Structure 1
Amino acid sequence: MDIFSKQYELVKGSRGVVLNYCAQMSPEHLNNAVPNFGQGTIKATLLHISNTYISWLSKFSLQKDEYFPSPEEVNGLEDIIKQFERANQAVTVFLTSFSDSDTLISGLKHGVDLNLSVTELFTHVTTHEFHHKGQIMSMGRILGYTPPDADIIRF
């Protein structure tokens, strides 16, 4: 399980680059819809990422009661960072709750009975973040910002 913790540190480093990039944007650009992107705004996309960690790793996997704020309840980047702190806590609790990456976790999600391994769940939430990170970089470029290199290995 230690490898997942190490991987997540790399993910958080990349996320930090994205959040610093977003900190350069005006509040209007964080909150205004960019056409043809699933979550609509950069703020909503960031919130969706953090909510996904909490949904899968805490609510689904550990059956914890969780609250998911809407984009309207989140005022700015400071609130987004707080949501990512919640996501980080969900990852920590998830990784310390299981000793075997092949452990299967069963539950209902979107009306479907699922049996997923710790590895599948961790991989899902981290690759999901990187998928949306690419969208955020594209949205920022459309809004006139030059995206930084936010890969795990940066040059």
Structure 2
Amino acid sequence: MNDDLRGFYRLVQGSRERVFGWAQTLPPEVYTLERADFAYGSLRNIHAHVADCYLGWIGESGLGLSVPEVVATQFPDVQAMRRRYAEVDGIVERALNEFTELDAPLLIPHRDSTLEVTRRWLLLHPFTHEFHHKGQLLALGRVLGHPYPPGPDTDLLLPSEL
């Protein structure tokens, strides 16, 4: 079920791994360095926010799971954050296996109202949200003096790279 979305998520995962690979080469203090002038403040905090988005939208809203909020300080380095994303991958895989009627309306509570979305939207929203924040990660890396190296495009893996 959901083979197209599963294939798309594999491209997302590979693209994420490129960024994690780059982050792994940074001095450890750079990954957690707080900058008040950047959204979420640090590379680590941006990664934590994205993981929280996946877990909230897909895990809680889509699967009805009780998922603890991702607290960035619990993840002191890239390896710890990778482990959190392994949990994210598990939640996405579960949703890909369980979600049926991808385009049927789904009402979910959100803040002080109710949103009408679909299960397809619950999956695609965090997928695309991750790419929005990837731009912030790479911009912050440049500002911190550690630009992403030239080479493969960071937007999405090529199909041949799977």
Fold-level match, TM-score > 0.5?
A: yes
Q: Which residue of 1 is the match for residue 75 of structure 2?
A: 74
Q: Which residue of 2 is the match for residue 106 of structure 1?
A: 107
1:56 to partner: Cα distance: 0.4
Q: Could you tell me the TM-score, scaled by structure 1's length?
A: 0.93
The 5-angstrom pairing of residues 52-131 of structure 1 reads 52-131=53-132
Per mean C-alpha deviation after superposition, the further-off stretch among 39-48 and 65-74 is: 65-74
Q: Structure 1 regions of 5+ residues with no counterpart? A: none
1:143 to partner: Cα distance: 1.1
Task: Output the amino acid matched with 2:81.
Answer: I
Per mean C-alpha deviation after superposition, the further-off stretch among 45-54 and 99-108 is: 99-108
Q: Which residue of 2 is the match for residue 24 of structure 1?
A: 25
- Separation in structure 2 between the aligned mates of residue 121 and residue 145 of structure 1, nearest angstrom: 33
- Is it true that 1:135 corresponds to 2:136 in the alignment? yes
| Gap change, CA 1:74 and 1:67, over 3 Å in 2 | same
Q: Which residue of 2 is the match for residue 12 of structure 1?
A: 13
| Gap change, CA 1:75 and 1:153, over 3 Å in 2 | closer
- Separation in structure 2 between the aligned mates of residue 110 and residue 25 of structure 1, nearest angstrom: 37
Task: Output the amino acid matched with 1:102.
Answer: D
- Separation in structure 2 between the aligned mates of residue 99 and residue 84 of structure 1, nearest angstrom: 24
Query: RMSD across aligned C-alpha pairs, in angstroms?
Result: 1.6
- Separation in structure 1 between the aligned mates of residue 44 and residue 147 of structure 2, nearest angstrom: 18
Per mean C-alpha deviation after superposition, the further-off stretch among 108-117 and 130-139 is: 108-117
Identity %: 25
- Separation in structure 2 between the aligned mates of residue 23 and residue 79 of structure 1, nearest angstrom: 11
Q: Secondary structure at the match of 1:34?
A: coil
- Separation in structure 1 between the aligned mates of residue 65 and residue 36 of structure 2, nearest angstrom: 35
The 5-angstrom pairing of residues 30-45 of structure 1 reads 30-45=31-46
Task: Output the amino acid matched with 1:61.
Answer: G
Q: Structure 2 regions of 5+ residues with no counterpart? A: none
1:36 to partner: Cα distance: 2.6
For these two proteins, the number of residue pairs brought into alignment is: 155
- Separation in structure 2 between the aligned mates of residue 152 and residue 124 of structure 1, nearest angstrom: 16
Task: Output the amino acid matched with 2:8.
Answer: Q
Q: Could you tell me the TM-score, scaled by structure 2's length?
A: 0.89
The answer to whether the 8 Å contact 2:58/2:91 transfers is yes
